[in-house]
Amino acid sequence: MHPALSVIIFTTFSGMGYGLFIWLCANLVFASSPPSDMEIVSGTALSTILVGIGLVSSTLHLGHPERAWRAFSQWRSSWLSREGVLSVLTFGPIIFIGGETYLKLGFEYLITPMAVLGILGAVATLFTTSMIYASLKSIPAWHNNWVIIGYQVFALSSGGVAYIMIAGWQHYRLVSALLLIGLLVKIITWIYIDKHRGQYKREDALGLADFGRAKPFEPAHSQKNYLEREMGYNLCPRRRALMRWIALGCGFIVPAILLYMVFSIDILITIICLGGMMAERWLFFAEAEHVVRLYYDKDEV
């Protein structure tokens, strides 16, 4: 699949934003020493900015961004629509918790229930985001549970790094452990998709499996069409290896080591982690092969 920058920014930024918000809410509900007002306000503000950048970016690749509001209507069948609805609903707790802490309107007894709602909303939004991809049978690299697990874990690990930047170092061991879990999940996902390559053949796509091996004879059209431009991304093995190392290194390994060493410039760790997540998400698209390629250049997908 063609790795479009708008969708890469959408999923990485909003993932980090929701992860950060989950960390903040979990501390509001469970921590013995709850976060300070300053931490709550800056945490909710950064969540809003990250999720906001993500959602705005997701509308940039639309043919008709001015009609984006229509995407809230088909939540009965469409994971994309569900994601849209839940992401907007989750802004409720984020803005309430930040606003109440900053303005002191006298509703502080609602902050804990709102934090619980916030965790549920953010987890559900991340789940629907992952299901946009995991529900597509036509893209085997996405149509598996590791994608669903990955979106949750990577949001929590990258959001955890951002939370340390906001609220200090008390959870740094837990976050570095989560980064290592994220590393494992990513490696297992790659093993899974590499092992499952080639499960569909061109002859299956043509419905003529009993006629022997088929190869394209003459192209259906002289120039590349929309399908080949959108789904026909070719990733060379060397670049894949390079990007996989960048994703693992910047997304998980370097942030985990720096956190464990209590490296003082925490904003740098957050930026490295976000960059690594963008490399991971670039690969998520570039590596995913669509079965429509069986009608074109691929013998198997």
Partner 1 sequence: MTCLPEKTDKKLGLLIDLNICVGCHACAVNCKEWNTSGITGPMEDLKPYGDDPSGVWYNRIHSYEFKKENEVDRTVYFPKPCLHCEDAPCVTVCPTGASLKRSEDGIVLVNPDVCIGCKLCSWACPYGAREYDTSAGVMQKCTLCVDKIYDENIPEERRVPACVSTCPAGARHFGDFADPASNVSLLAAENDARELFPQMKTKPVNQYLPPRKREIAENKKLDQKVTNIKDALMKWATLDFTG
Can you tell me which of 33, 106, 212, 267 binds partner 1, judged by CB under 8 A? 212
Does residue number 5 form part of the binding site for partner 1 (CB under 8 A)?
Answer: no
Does residue number 231 form part of the binding site for partner 1 (CB under 8 A)?
Answer: yes
User: Cα(240)–Cα(11) distance, rounded to whole angstroms?
Assistant: 20
Least CB distance from residue 288 to partner 1, whole Å?
10
**Radius of gyration from C-alpha coordinates of the chain:** 21
Q: Which residues contact 249 (CB under 8 A, 6 or more apart)?
A: 276
Q: Which stretch binds partner 1 (CB under 8 A): 48-56, 116-124, 181-189, 215-223?
A: 215-223
Return the number of the residue (131 or 161) whose C-beta is nearest partner 1.
131
User: Cα(97)–Cα(110) distance, rounded to whole angstroms?
Assistant: 9
Nearest to 13 by CA among 281, 245, 269: 281
Can you tell me which of 214, 246, 257, 272 binds partner 1, judged by CB under 8 A? 214
Least CB distance from residue 14 to partner 1, whole Å?
16
SS3 201: strand
Question: Which positions from 97 through 136 interact with partner 1, judged by CB under 8 A?
Answer: 132, 135-136
Distance separating the N- and C-terminal Cα atoms of the chain: 12
CA angle, 286 as apex, 62 and 161 as ends, to 5°? 85
With helix as H, strand as E and coil as C, how does 68-91 read?
Answer: HHHHHCCCCCCHHHHHHHHHHHHH
SS3 300: strand
| Binding flags for partner 1, 45-74, as an x/- string (CB under 8 A) | ----------------xxxxx-xx-xxxxx
Structure tokens at 232: 């026909």
Does residue number 166 form part of the binding site for partner 1 (CB under 8 A)?
Answer: no
Can you tell me which of 32, 109, 195, 226 binds partner 1, judged by CB under 8 A? 226
Can you tell me which of 30, 33, 76, 109 binds partner 1, judged by CB under 8 A? 76
Return the number of the residue (63 or 106) whose C-beta is nearest partner 1.
63
Can you tell me which of 116, 275, 292, 300 binds partner 1, judged by CB under 8 A? 292
Burial annotation 159-190 (CB, 10 A radius, 16+ → b, else e)? bbbbbbbbbeeebbeebbbbbebbbebbeebb
Least CB distance from residue 143 to partner 1, whole Å?
11
Does residue number 197 form part of the binding site for partner 1 (CB under 8 A)?
Answer: no
Least CB distance from residue 285 to partner 1, whole Å?
11
CB 157 within 8 A of CB 20: no
Does residue number 198 form part of the binding site for partner 1 (CB under 8 A)?
Answer: no
Nearest to 252 by CA among 161, 126, 148: 161
Does residue number 148 form part of the binding site for partner 1 (CB under 8 A)?
Answer: no
**Which parts of this chain interact with partner 1 (CB under 8 A)?**
1, 61-65, 67-68, 70-74, 76-81, 84, 132, 135-139, 200, 202, 204-208, 211-218, 220-227, 230-231, 290-292, 295
